[in-house]
Amino acid sequence: MIRNETKNKLLVNHSSIADTFFEKCLGFMLASRKDQAIVFYFNIEKNTSFHTFFMRFSLDFLFLDSQKRVVKILKNVRPWKLSVSGHGKYVVELPSGRSLNTSVGDKISFK
């Protein structure tokens, strides 16, 4: 479950944490479910890059700092983009449109 605590909005009911190398590499590639999200966890806040090759739908990206506050938002990133980048300790991949009215500075929670 991923929530925007600042706005008290449920973004998605189902989520998973990608913290291993394999899980980070796979992400949403070839996935067909649009009702879940993936949270990428990194040991430190850093610049990270993603691609959307082999995706079947557009995505929203939320880059979060160590306090789980949004520092960057990318909406409606279409499949087959070469580079999507930002700075954060956590990156949340959501199906396009699921980030709702999330803004930079909002606090996000996930389980």
Q: Structure pTM?
A: 0.88
pLDDT number for residue 5: 98
| CATH classification (class only), 2-98 | mainly beta
Residue 39 sits at the vertex; the CA angle it makes with 98 and 62, to the nearest 5 degrees, is 50
Strands (E), 1-111: 2-4, 9-12, 14-18, 36-50, 59-64, 70-77, 84-95, 108-110
Instruction: Write out pLDDT tens, residues 45-94.
Output: 999 888 888 888 899 999 999 999 999 999 999 998 888 899 999 999 99
User: Which tokens belong to 68?
Assistant: 């789980």
Question: What percent of the chain is predicted at pLDDT more than 70?
Answer: 88
